[in-house]
């Protein structure tokens, strides 16, 4: 009889531990995640024909969303009649630029994560806004902003 009681108590303990973990995870928690990162302002990035405005970034905590560089903002084509698209480029240490396209003649909201899949967290990131001028002309880009964790 004591053996059945011990097995029952062990099963109940495991069940309650699993339920508590599931509840914490559902509420945004994770065992090794640091406090939630805060958003920081990105100044307006602009160059001929392109503007990235209302921008914000944060570095996600290690273990949360891959410890990514998280950015968001509004990408605007400011020369609607030129026939060229706009894009945002973001780079994290050790990798090439990632390109996030906008839409011609429109303003689009972007909310993206950029990270190194082999690392616990990202510590350096660069961002800039550009206008794609086609094959025969070099693209024009805003100044490049560098951010450190």
> Mind listing the pLDDT tens digit for each residue in 37-91?
899 999 999 999 999 999 999 999 988 899 999 999 999 999 988 989 999 999 9
Give whole-number Cα distances, 2 to 13, 16, 21, in Å: 16, 21, 29
CA-closest candidate to residue 108, choices 90, 85, 127, 125:
85
Confidence of residue 135 (pLDDT cuts 50, 70, 90): confident
- The answer to pTM > 0.95 is no
Encode burial over 24-41: b for 16+ CB neighbours within 10 A, e otherwise: eeeeeeeeeeeeebeeee
Those residues with Cβ within 8 angstroms of residue 54's Cβ, 6 or more apart along the chain or in another chain: 73, 74
């Amino acid at each position: 009889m004591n053996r059945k009681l011990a097995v029952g108590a062990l099963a109940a303990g495991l069940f309650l531990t699993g339920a508590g973990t599931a509840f914490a995870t559902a509420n945004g928690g994770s065992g090794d995640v640091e406090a939630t990162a805060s958003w920081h302002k990105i100044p307006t990035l602009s160059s001929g024909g392109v503007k990235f405005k209302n921008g914000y970034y944060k570095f996600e905590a290690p273990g949360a969303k891959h410890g990514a560089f998280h950015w968001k903002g509004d990408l605007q084509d400011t020369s609607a009649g030129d026939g060229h698209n706009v894009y945002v480029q973001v780079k994290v240490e050790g990798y090439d630029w990632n390109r996030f396209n906008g839409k011609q003649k429109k303003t689009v909201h972007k909310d993206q994560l950029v990270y190194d899949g082999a690392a616990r967290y990202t510590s350096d990131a660069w961002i800039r806004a550009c206008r794609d001028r086609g094959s025969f002309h070099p693209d024009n880009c805003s100044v490049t902003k560098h951010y450190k964790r």
